[in-house]
Amino acid sequence: MEKILQQINRGTQNSYVHPVSTSGSKFSDLLKQTQAAENTISAGSMDAVFEEAARVYNVPVNLLKAIGKAESNFDPSAQSAAGAQGVMQLMPQTAASLGVADPFDAQSNIMGGAKYISGLLDQYDGDVDLALAAYNAGSGNVAKYGGIPPFSETQNYVRKVKEYMGSSIQIDESTQNVSGLMQQTGAALQCPICGGSQKKAAVSDMTVWLAELLKLQVQSRMLSVDDYTGTVL
């Protein structure tokens, strides 16, 4: 991914690309929407989301952050091989049951994860170990084994989250709501794989999409666009 982005960056610095109005959108308007969307969620605002989720669902904020760090390292676009999605790595069925319409939207995902762990804490009378084990392996396995299941992944997960809870958890300043950016940019471009009903398909095309976004960002620094004619001044 990094090599691809570097190549595109070099290419856009050495070549001129004339802005084209796409589906009736002025190029400068598209850039404004892209830049606005890019700032949808910064590290500071993600902190605020965790704080709000902790308040709403009465869960220690450090527990929520520890789960977010252990699950995805606060990556809103993360998707596991098993299909878990977003910051708190919610499975699609679980996300739907929690009212999370877009698992790749950081705010919705964090709120959903907070609701989920809050319910598990209630279920296990505040036992953090059992709640975390159920979050990772499912309540069925906790019931089956009468405690933390004998799965190395689950045992390591519980230990890791508790270690994070006891430390100062920092969210990377570069964290952004990638899905929100994809959705807004895709809508402006009317791109069939980036927005609308096929938004989920865009996750697998993230490399191509990021490459196109970088082009737009470079052009926004290099070009001044006339809103009325679309010509370069």
Question: Where does a domain end: 113, 133, 165?
Answer: 165
Same domain membership, residue 132 and residue 81: yes
Among 118, 140, 165, identify where a domain stops.
Answer: 165
Q: Give the pLDDT of residue 167.
A: 87
Considering the domain architecture, whether residues 99 and 51 belong to the same structural domain is answered as yes
Q: Establish if 11 belongs to a structural domain.
A: no
Three-class SS state of 102:
coil
Do 64 and 148 lie in one domain? The reply is: yes
Q: What is the pTM of this model?
A: 0.61
| CA distances for 88 relative to 11, 31, 99, 145, 175, angstroms | 36, 30, 14, 25, 14
Considering only the C-alpha atoms of the chain, give the largest distance between any 2 of them, rounded to a whole number of Å.
Answer: 71
Residues 47 and 135 in one domain: yes
Same domain for 71 and 115: yes
* Inside any domain, residue 82: yes
Examine residue 191 and state whether it is found in any structural domain, yes or no: yes
Active site residue 163: no
Tokens of 212: 């196109």
- Within a domain: residue 206? yes
Task: List the alpha helices (DSSP H) in the chain.
Answer: 2-14, 27-38, 43-57, 61-72, 92-97, 106-123, 128-137, 139-145, 152-165, 178-189, 206-222
Query: Would you give the distance in Å from CA 111 to the centre of its chain?
Result: 12
Residues 92 and 143 in one domain: yes
Q: Catalytic pick from 71, 153, 173, 212?
A: 71
Query: Does any domain span residue 78?
Result: yes
pLDDT of residue 168: 84
> Is 29 in a helix, a strand, or coil?
helix
On whether both 54 and 153 belong to a single domain, the answer is yes
Q: Which residues of 50-64 are buried (b: 16+ CB within 10 A; e: fewer)?
A: beebbeebebebbbb
- Rounded to 5°, the CA angle 184-185-189 comes to 120
Do residues 30 and 54 both lie within one domain? Answer: no
Residues 134 and 34 reside in one and the same domain? no
Average pLDDT, the chain: 76
Instruction: Report pLDDT for 89.
Output: 98
* Residue 72 shares a structural domain with residue 157: yes
Q: Rounded to whole angstroms, how far apart are CA atoms 18 and 118?
A: 52
Of the three residues 165, 199, 218, the one that is the final residue of a domain is 165
Single out the residue of 215, 175, 174, 185 nearest to residue 5, CA to CA: 215
**Per-residue confidence of the chain (233 residues) as pLDDT tens digits?**
554 444 435 444 444 344 444 444 455 555 545 444 443 466 668 999 999 999 999 999 999 999 999 999 999 999 999 999 999 999 999 999 999 999 999 999 999 999 999 999 999 999 999 999 999 999 999 999 999 999 999 999 999 999 999 888 888 765 555 444 544 444 444 444 544 445 445 445 566 666 677 766 666 555 544 444 444 44
Q: Are residues 117 and 188 in the same domain?
A: no
Tokens of residue 21, six digits = 């109005």
For Cα atoms 111, 114, 117, give the angle at the middle one, nearest 5 degrees.
150
80 found inside a domain: yes
In a domain, 112, yes or no: yes
Give pLDDT, residue 171: 85
Chain segment 160-177, per-residue pLDDT in tens: 999 999 888 888 765 555
Domain count, the chain: 2
Distance (Å, whole) CA 14 – CA 17: 10
Residue 48 domain-assigned? yes
Nearest residue to 88 via CA among 108, 109, 104: 109
209 and 147 in a single domain? The answer is: no
Q: What is the CATH number of the domain that holds 75?
A: 1.10.530.10
Domain housing 224: 20-40+177-233
